[in-house]
Structure 1
Amino acid sequence: MSGLKLFHTTSGSVAEVAPRLAEREADVQDLVEAHMETMLGVRFLASEYSTGPLHGGRIDSLGLNENGASVVVEYRRATDAGVIHQGLFYLAWLMDHRDEFQRLVRDRLGSEAAGQILWSAPRVICVAGDFTRYDVHAVREHRRSIDLVRYRMYGDEYIALETVASVAGHATVPRRRQGAVRGSGAVPAGVLRELAEAVDEVLLGLGADVVPVHRKKYRAYQRLRNVACVPPAQQTKVLAYVRLLPKEVDLVPGFTRDVTGLGHHGSGDLEVQLRSERDLERAVDLFRLAYAAA
């Protein structure tokens, strides 16, 4: 059971809004599918997707996340341990039918998206009323990336999503060595690598559930959604595109910039420009806020 308490304040009085489960599983599915990119960071592809007569199943939702990885989403109104195993079953089917999934992406999102699918990082997201401690333990024993997301509805206007567990697959990712960065101003060529390594360490250190995802033109730091995306370092700085609304941040010329609607690699509407250890220290609070938002 979620420990979150929601209160409605009016004219100096406070009334608790009691949490509830959906009346039907389909109510949760319909709501998430209609707003999947906002709620899960996943572009919606298909609902109740048939796996054919041999497997005889239907995938609740199929999507593509912001890093181009395939996503299977399964829903349960309340608690049901079978949701994890069913999601993994459908993900195995999906990995055996890549051509079919690629055609689906091409039909819904276009040829460019279909040609950039990240097959090395498929994901299962289970959305349910609750999970048991056995569910949390079970996902840690699998080789696939799995997110357990608990929902609660409050009145008729609010729904809360809480990540109960987020586990990366067992693919090994080389960790960069920790580097010290000194000085301020422009970054000398010999120090730029150390600055990039320090940024990497800070982002990975935000939480055990931060997963590095490698794309050709950027490196994403993913929780349920991307926390930040970092392209290869430029000649004088390291750029990080962070999941924060620029209008909610005091923009500082030369340090932070609103890139909403501007083309760049990866996701994130706030650009953070890092040239020194001092810049990185200033950016830590922004990274933490983005981690909470992801």
Structure 2
Amino acid sequence: MSGLKLFHTTMSGATEVAPRLAETEADVQGLVETHMETLLGVQFLASEYSTGPVHGGRIDSLGLDENGSPVVVEYKRGLDAGVINQGLFYLSWLVDHRAEFEHLIRDRLGATAAAQVLWSSPRLICIAGDFTRYDVHALREHRRSIDLVRYRFFGRDLLGLETMASVSGRAPAVRRVRRRSTVLAVKGGQSTALDELAQALDETLLGLGDGVNCVQRKTYRAYQRLRNFACACPPQKTKLLVYLKVDPKEVDLVPGFTRDVTGLGHHGTGDLEVQLRTLQDLDRAQDLFRASYAAA
């Protein structure tokens, strides 16, 4: 995987653990579906979902991500040039059959979850043994949120996932949201400094790497790679709250700047709360932002 080598080390030496593909596509699919929330940040809903006799297909996996966006997951054992087009074919079907999908969610997760589906940003995740440069280029030609994820098995019980490329189908919406947030801050009596801080935070999180997708919900804005890595809440009177996917136990918590919110109710996802009051706070949080991004 991009030249990455894995070694098993002992006192007597080191032995390379050779990467391998799955024996069958079903081996990859079964493992990911069993641990989908941990691996992808997606709640598993259905496997081999039939699109009906007219459409004549089966969606490998259906899920709902942590922001409420519908997710289609397609798998290929090795390299397959048709995986993106096949996935987009199923994603288009899903968007055209919203009521059916919401009925599925109502059965699995309840009426509240079904009423909060975010149809503005449906996602396609393709998991395969490899992708070509043509696959990566093709992503830029689509107006959907797509993630290309390469897998490898190592030994008997290790799985590696590498995000090869990601594109957001909502880039224009991100720019509109940024301007709207400025207006809301001014109307709400927020200071110019806090408004500038919110814009600087937005630019910082979007600039951490390629393929960052910004998803706007009513109570927070999620910054997403394969999974959410940051959730920013609307400005409060004197500060901004950002929640990160960083283990608070691995951070030297600073009162008034970082807080462990594990088990505490809050908007967005993540157990580490970062409180930003000034641009200096934003600079102090850079390493935390990068750590959360790298883990997504």
Q: Structure 2 vs 1, CA of residues 171 and 100 (structure 1 numbering), >3 Å: closer, same or farther?
A: farther
Q: How many residues align?
A: 284
Q: What secondary structure is seen at the aligned counterpart in 2 of 1:148?
A: strand
How many angstroms apart in 1 are the aligned matches of 2:55 and 2:295?
Answer: 37
Matching residue of 2:185: none
After superposition, residues 121-140 of structure 1 pair within 5 angstroms as: 121-140=121-140
How many angstroms apart in 2 are the aligned matches of 1:219 and 1:12?
Answer: 50
Matching residue of 1:118: 118
- 1:192 equivalent among 191, 194, 212: 194
- The C-alpha deviation readout for 1:6-36, integer Å capped at 9, x for no partner, is 0110114111000000111111101100110
How many angstroms apart in 2 are the aligned matches of 1:264 and 1:281?
Answer: 24
Matching residue of 1:251: 253
- 1:224 equivalent among 198, 215, 226: 226
How far is 1:3 from its partner? Answer: 1.6
Normalising to structure 1: TM-score of the pair? Answer: 0.94
Asked whether 1:75 is paired with 2:75, we answer: yes
Matching residue of 2:31: 31
Q: Structure 2 vs 1, CA of residues 170 and 66 (structure 1 numbering), >3 Å: closer, same or farther?
A: closer
Query: Identity rate of aligned residues, in percent?
Result: 73
Asked whether 1:157 is paired with 2:157, we answer: yes
How many angstroms apart in 2 are the aligned matches of 1:58 and 1:125?
Answer: 15
How far is 1:170 from its partner? Answer: 5.0
Q: Which amino acid aligns with 1:262?
A: L
Q: Structure 2 vs 1, CA of residues 248 and 266 (structure 1 numbering), >3 Å: closer, same or farther?
A: same
How far is 1:101 from its partner? Answer: 0.2
| More helix per residue | 2
Q: What secondary structure is seen at the aligned counterpart in 2 of 1:233?
A: coil
Q: What secondary structure is seen at the aligned counterpart in 1 of 2:151?
A: strand
How far is 1:208 from its partner? Answer: 2.3
CA RMSD in angstroms comes to 1.3
Matching residue of 2:18: 18
- The C-alpha deviation readout for 1:46-96, integer Å capped at 9, x for no partner, is 001000111111100000001100000000100001111110000000000
Check whether the contact 2:139–2:146 (CA below 8 A) recurs between aligned residues. Answer: yes
How many angstroms apart in 1 are the aligned matches of 2:2 and 2:25?
Answer: 18
- The C-alpha deviation readout for 1:175-213, integer Å capped at 9, x for no partner, is 647xxxxxxxxxx83321111111111111111211111
Asked whether 1:263 is paired with 2:248, we answer: no
How many angstroms apart in 2 are the aligned matches of 1:131 and 1:158?
Answer: 21
How many angstroms apart in 2 are the aligned matches of 1:261 and 1:151?
Answer: 32
- The C-alpha deviation readout for 1:90-113, integer Å capped at 9, x for no partner, is 000000000000011111111111
Q: What secondary structure is seen at the aligned counterpart in 2 of 1:265?
A: coil
How many angstroms apart in 2 are the aligned matches of 1:116 and 1:49?
Answer: 21
How far is 1:256 from its partner? Answer: 0.7
Q: Which amino acid aligns with 1:89?
A: F
How far is 1:243 from its partner? Answer: 1.1
**Which contiguous aligned blocks of 4+ residues in structure 1 show a shift greater than 6 angstroms?**
none
Gaps of 5+ in 2: 180-189
Gaps of 5+ in 1: 178-187
- The C-alpha deviation readout for 1:141-164, integer Å capped at 9, x for no partner, is 111111000000000110000000
Q: What secondary structure is seen at the aligned counterpart in 2 of 1:212?
A: strand
Q: Which amino acid aligns with 1:81?
A: A
Asked whether 1:90 is paired with 2:77, we answer: no
Q: Which amino acid aligns with 2:26?
A: A
Q: What secondary structure is seen at the aligned counterpart in 2 of 1:172?
A: helix
Matching residue of 1:59: 59
Q: Which amino acid aligns with 1:23?
A: E
